[in-house]
């Protein structure tokens, strides 16, 4: 049953039970509405405790209902019904009271919570604003500043901080429902506070709204919802309650149907789906309680930091004592910077370092649960490391490689118990980037693959399963992006024009700026390996830049010139003349920003479709997650595959055919043509 009522003397306890997260489906809204009616009619009831069964309080409106016409009772009416109930309602919160769930508690007269609970209005993350009075009641409860912060960032607040901010009335240490019932009894002995709708909004300092608008706009970039959420709170402070509620609802309904909200909803469900692949349902992962990292360079240090952030003890293995010291110094720098930015305290930084042991001795690994290798991208070096690991580690220790392009099957060739081996591909900087590509070999045991997904959860990362090919999902698409960027140069566009167009689309930086930052040498190595395999990678200009050692910022120049100590890209005469020489025979259409973006994005989608066709990715939405969490693709665009679907795949096919006719892209692959005929990629619509 969704809603049940139990009595503890004069206190009624209403329990919501709508697994998995007690989302406010139509049936639940109706159940709560009916409960409010029934309890108002029952004279023996003096107060009502609202609690939830399962792992969390109400986690919000049912996002799955957002694409459908709203069904009564509407959430704002339910919240209003609870607020004007004849007896006070007390919300008893565990887990998360989010969105509509928190708004329901704002209709209650009191809120109590266990210390591990959190409350918040995360609607902006779904491209919408709170739609059931959150922006209007919250400033009446906790002041305008707290309300603006919560609704424009969407960040939840932990129970203790929520108590300090006046968002909840008490933190209950022991049994939540018993504590809430006791709280209710005590409250009945005192005069009741006003319902939130009847409280005033405290005035703000002069200039507050202008300053808030600047801050929110800068943070939101091109997302619409945060500024709309700010507008709602402002309205709540400036007009009467009912007018503000109407404005909020109107804003909510308008945004709910927007392209950004559809994209963000798609990403929300993609993330839920990615963490629990159906093929691993019921598989118990191998346990991970301790870890080691081999190699303390850029990636190894970042991975070790991520493992420490999750509380795992870490052993760092390097080639020699000097390299151990350098690796530990890299880690110290990461934690120092995190402390400097206020992300962790200095005590926490010291504690993170204290949990790391640096060594050159593989014998130290005899009891670790997980080893991640991040040494040079060289097959022989990696094989040598795994031969040693296979001998030094327990048979049930998971052995993982962070290779970017090498074939994990070949790295693992010949190791004892290959079922414990898999690829775990992190993205730089590994302590910050959310993506983790999980790459099983043919021999990887399902429980080991499941452990990869469990690790991602531990590290607060988004796991995506990828098959073996050159570059897995992310770097394989990156190769296409780069090749397209060069094709644009050969046909009349310039590096700044291409970079500006991709920024305008919403990427944090363009393809040439990004290469100059990361270095052109890594891709050059990878092209060399591809040529050795008989392939013909396309990078005529990048090849010439590497030949004259223009590797990017680190060598003082790449696609752009850089003055010493200055990261500002400047136009390069050298690059311009190389482009002119290479470009001789290419067509030269006029490129505007949209045409440039299409010329890069649509071939990415085509490659994504090939990746689906050969099984390298299991779902189109996984490809979206890879690009969003590994490469900065704007979340509000939903990822390249969603973007293409939102444009209409038939249009994408047509545009790709036109580019192919001009020699500017490959024609659409069979799976893309088929998806266009069937109106979408099979999993990508919800
Ligand atoms: N609606 C529908 N389904 C939801 C949901 C929601 N609000 N929240 C979670 N789910 C589903 C997930 O899709 C997943 O489904 P699956 O098992 O089929 O894949 C399942 O519930 C479990 O979700 P998680 O794996 O995320 O569970 P966790 O225990 O890790 O996390 C949580 C729980 C913190 C509550 C997390 O699910 C979460 O943050 N949910 C989103 C909350 C949210 O954004 N609420 C606001 C909604 S908008 C709103 O309320 C508008 C209102 O103002 C009118
Ligand atoms: P790096 O050169 O910064 O670090 C490599 C480290 O490995 C060095 O500190 C070196 O001393 C150590 N090392 C080399 N041989 C060793 C051995 N036999 N035993 C112990 N330590 C040894 O390289 P980076 O960038 O950290 O790359 C490491 C791996 O991660 C490579 O496979 C790379 O392809 C991959 N990768 C790199 C990414 C990046 O953006 N740099 C992104 C994702 C993966």
Average pLDDT score over residue span 32-44: 97
- Measured by CA distance, the residue closest to atom 28 of ligand 2 is 374
| CATH (domain of 450) | 3.40.50.720
| CATH (domain of 240) | 3.90.226.10
Q: What is the pLDDT of residue 685?
A: 36
The finding on whether 21 has its CB within 6 A of some atom of ligand 1 is: yes
Quick check: 227 and 220 in contact, CB under 8 A?
A: yes
Q: Which of 103, 248, 486, 607 is catalytic?
A: 103
With 80 as the cut, is the pLDDT of residue 580 above it?
Answer: yes
674 is catalytic: no
For residue 522, the CA-to-ligand 2 centroid distance in Å is 12
Q: What is the pLDDT of residue 277?
A: 87
686 domain-assigned? no
- 520 and 666 assigned to the same domain: yes
Q: What is the pLDDT of residue 161?
A: 97
The finding on whether 322 has its CB within 6 A of some atom of ligand 1 is: no
- 238 and 295 assigned to the same domain: no
- 409 and 526 assigned to the same domain: no
Computed over every residue of the chain, the mean pLDDT equals: 96
- 217 and 344 assigned to the same domain: no
Residue 443 lies in domain: 288-465
Quick check: 423 and 403 in contact, CB under 8 A?
A: yes
- 21 and 68 assigned to the same domain: yes
With 90 as the cut, is the pLDDT of residue 684 above it?
Answer: no
Pairing relationship of beta strands 96-98 and 110-114 according to DSSP bridges: unpaired
276 domain-assigned? no
| Model confidence band, residue 587 (pLDDT cutoffs 50, 70, 90) | confident
DSSP code for 128: -
Domain count of the fold of the chain: 3
Q: Quick one: what percent of the chain has pLDDT higher than 70?
A: 99
The finding on whether 248 has its CB within 6 A of some atom of ligand 1 is: no
Which ligand is nearest to the Cα of residue 276, counting in written order? 1
The finding on whether 131 has its CB within 6 A of some atom of ligand 1 is: yes
| Model confidence band, residue 131 (pLDDT cutoffs 50, 70, 90) | very high
282 domain-assigned? no
**Best of 300, 429, 551 for a ligand 2 pocket test (most atoms within 8 Å of beta carbon):** 300
283 domain-assigned? no
For residue 523, the CA-to-ligand 2 centroid distance in Å is 15
- 329 and 253 assigned to the same domain: no
- 390 and 505 assigned to the same domain: no
268 domain-assigned? no
Q: What is the pLDDT of residues 303-348, one digit of tens each?
A: 999 999 999 999 999 999 999 999 999 999 999 999 999 999 999 9
Domain boundary, last residue among 465, 486, 504: 465
- 337 and 394 assigned to the same domain: yes
Ligand 2 atom nearest the C-alpha of 323 is: 11
51 is catalytic: no
Q: Quick one: what percent of the chain has pLDDT higher than 90?
A: 93
Distance CA 669, CA 522 (A): 28
The finding on whether 360 has its CB within 6 A of some atom of ligand 2 is: no
Q: What is the pLDDT of residues 247-262, one digit of tens each?
A: 999 999 999 999 999 9
Q: What is the pLDDT of residue 682?
A: 79
123 is catalytic: yes
Helix residue spans in 533-639 (DSSP H): 540-547, 573-582, 593-613, 620-631
Tell me the DSSP string of 635-647.
GGGT-HHHHHHHH
| CATH (domain of 556) | 1.10.1040.50
- 336 and 252 assigned to the same domain: no
| Model confidence band, residue 436 (pLDDT cutoffs 50, 70, 90) | very high
644 domain-assigned? yes
Domain boundary, last residue among 446, 465, 484: 465
| Model confidence band, residue 1 (pLDDT cutoffs 50, 70, 90) | low
Helix residue spans in 134-258 (DSSP H): 134-142, 144-153, 159-164, 176-188, 208-220, 225-238, 241-256
Q: What is the pLDDT of residues 234-248, one digit of tens each?
A: 999 999 999 999 999
265 domain-assigned? no
With 50 as the cut, is the pLDDT of residue 686 above it?
Answer: no
How many CB atoms lie under 10 A from the CB of residue 461?
Answer: 22
Ligand 1 atom nearest the C-alpha of 59 is: 35
Q: What is the pLDDT of residues 150-173, one digit of tens each?
A: 999 999 999 999 999 999 999 999
15 domain-assigned? yes
Q: Which of 95, 99, 100, 639 is catalytic?
A: 100
Q: What is the pLDDT of residues 183-211, one digit of tens each?
A: 999 999 999 999 999 999 999 999 999 99
Q: What is the pLDDT of residue 683?
A: 63
- 98 and 193 assigned to the same domain: yes
- 424 and 534 assigned to the same domain: no
- 94 and 194 assigned to the same domain: yes
How many CB atoms lie under 10 A from the CB of residue 101?
Answer: 28
Domain boundary, last residue among 430, 445, 465: 465
């Amino acid at each position: 049953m969704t809603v049940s009522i139990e009595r503890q003397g004069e206190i009624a306890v209403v329990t919501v039970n709508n697994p998995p997260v007690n989302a406010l489906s139509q049936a639940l809204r109706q159940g709560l509405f009916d409960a409010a009616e029934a309890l108002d009619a029952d004279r023996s009831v003096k107060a009502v405790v609202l609690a939830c069964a399962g792992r969390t309080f109400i986690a919000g409106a049912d996002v799955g209902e957002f694409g459908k016409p709203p069904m009564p009772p509407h959430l704002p009416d339910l919240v209003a019904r609870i607020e004007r109930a004849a007896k006070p309602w007390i919300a008893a919160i565990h887990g998360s009271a989010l969105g509509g769930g928190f708004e329901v508690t704002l209709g209650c007269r009191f809120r109590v919570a266990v210390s591990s609970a959190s409350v918040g209005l995360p609607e902006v993350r779904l491209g919408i604003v709170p739609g059931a009075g959150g922006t209007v009641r919250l400033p009446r409860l906790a002041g305008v500043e707290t309300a603006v912060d919560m609704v424009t960032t969407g960040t939840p607040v932990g129970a203790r901080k929520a108590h300090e901010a006046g968002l909840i009335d008490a933190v209950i240490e022991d049994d939540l429902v018993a504590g809430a019932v006791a709280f209710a009894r005590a409250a009945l002995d005192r005069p009741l506070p006003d319902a939130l709708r009847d409280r005033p909004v405290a005035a703000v300092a002069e200039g507050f709204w202008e300053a808030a608008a600047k801050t929110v706009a800068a943070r939101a970039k091109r997302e619409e919802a945060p500024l709309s959420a700010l507008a709602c709170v402002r309205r709540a402070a400036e007009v009467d309650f009912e007018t503000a509620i109407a404005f909020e609802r109107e804003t909510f309904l308008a945004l709910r149907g927007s392209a950004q909200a559809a994209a963000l909803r798609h990403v929300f469900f993609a993330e839920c789906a990615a963490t629990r692949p159906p093929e691993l349902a019921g598989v118990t992962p191998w346990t991970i309680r301790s870890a080691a990292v081999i190699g303390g360079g850029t990636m190894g240090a970042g991975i070790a930091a991520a493992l420490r952030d999750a509380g795992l003890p870490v052993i760092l293995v390097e080639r020699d004592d000097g390299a151990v010291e350098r690796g530990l110094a890299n880690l110290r720098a990461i934690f120092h910077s995190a402390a400097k930015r206020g992300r962790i305290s200095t005590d926490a930084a010291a504690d993170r370092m204290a949990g790391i042991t640096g060594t050159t001795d593989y014998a130290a690994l005899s009891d670790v649960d997980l080893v991640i290798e991040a040494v040079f991208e060289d097959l022989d070096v990696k094989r040598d490391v795994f031969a040693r690991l296979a001998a030094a580690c327990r048979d049930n220790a998971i052995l993982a490689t962070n290779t970017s392009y090498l074939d994990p099957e070949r790295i693992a060739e010949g190791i004892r118990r290959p079922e414990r081996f898999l690829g775990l591909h992190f993205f730089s900087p590994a302590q910050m980037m959310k993506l983790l590509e999980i790459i099983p070999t043919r021999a990887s045991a399902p429980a080991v693959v499941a452990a990869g997904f469990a690790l991602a959860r531990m590290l607060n990362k988004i796991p995506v399963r990828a098959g073996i090919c050159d570059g897995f999902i992310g770097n394989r698409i990156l190769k296409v992006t780069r090749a397209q960027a060069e094709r644009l140069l050969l046909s009349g566009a310039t590096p700044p024009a291409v970079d500006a167009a991709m920024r305008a689309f919403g990427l944090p930086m363009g393809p040439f700026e990004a290469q100059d930052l990361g270095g052109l040498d890594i891709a050059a190595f990878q092209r060399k390996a591809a040529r050795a395999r008989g392939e013909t990678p396309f990078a005529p200009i990048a090849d010439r830049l590497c030949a004259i050692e223009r590797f990017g910022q680190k060598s003082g120049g790449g696609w752009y010139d850089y003055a010493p100590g200055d990261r500002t890209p400047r136009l390069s005469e050298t690059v311009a003349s190389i482009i002119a020489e290479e470009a001789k025979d290419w067509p030269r259409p006029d490129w505007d920003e949209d045409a440039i973006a299409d010329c890069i994005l649509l071939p990415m989608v085509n490659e994504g479709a090939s990746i689906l066709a050969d099984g390298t990715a299991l779902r189109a939405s996984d490809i979206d997650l890879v690009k969003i969490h590994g490469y900065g693709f704007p979340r509000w665009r939903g990822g390249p595959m969603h973007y293409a679907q939102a444009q209409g795949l038939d249009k994408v096919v047509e545009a790709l055919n036109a580019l192919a006719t001009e020699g500017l892209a490959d024609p659409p692959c069979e799976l893309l043509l088929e998806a266009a005929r069937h109106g979408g990629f099979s999993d990508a619509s919800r």
